[in-house]
Structure 1
Amino acid sequence: MKRRVIVMNGQKIVEAEIAGKWVVEKVSKAKGIKPGIYNLYLAIDADKTQALPGFIVHTDNNNVYQKTNQGLVKYDRTDFDNIGLGER
């Protein structure tokens, strides 16, 4: 299933594509995330040997998504279990 995050007007909207249409799953405060459309389904796996500057766009039960100068990357959520990363 494809997912994306849309950030605008201080709101963060998480959508999923179902039967060819985007359906809103969750709406929350953007918490400082830069406005834009972040296609989570296009995120590439992060190279854990590199430290990439950027900001966290979204977290879910399985992944942490970061916007970097190389694009959108994703990390396995368990990599962050010991640092107390909260829901974004």
Structure 2
Amino acid sequence: MPVPKDEFDQLLPCDFSTPEELLEPNEMYTVYEIARLMQGLEPDAAIEEATEAVLLDWAIPWVVHHGDDLVIADPRSDDEPGYYGVKTTE
């Protein structure tokens, strides 16, 4: 159900980091690691499963929006997620 804007104390601009600002150019990341980085956490930070689900709500659209600036790699095994990294000219 939509919520009126005046019910919030503060409205912030929807301004996210670019892939170049968030990710190291020679590294590949899972969407879970990207979600943590977007919150200023280390990629391997331990967080609760419910928190991780909320962070993924931000990270998945970010990956889709920045798809032209990213490369992807298939999982290394069936029990791993895929990987994303900054597209470079190398």
Structure 2 length normalisation: TM-score? 0.22
Greater per-residue helix proportion: 2
Greater per-residue strand proportion: 1
Higher relative contact order (CA 8 A, sep 6+): 2
Structure 1 length normalisation: TM-score? 0.23
Q: Which structure's CA Rg is the greater one? A: 2
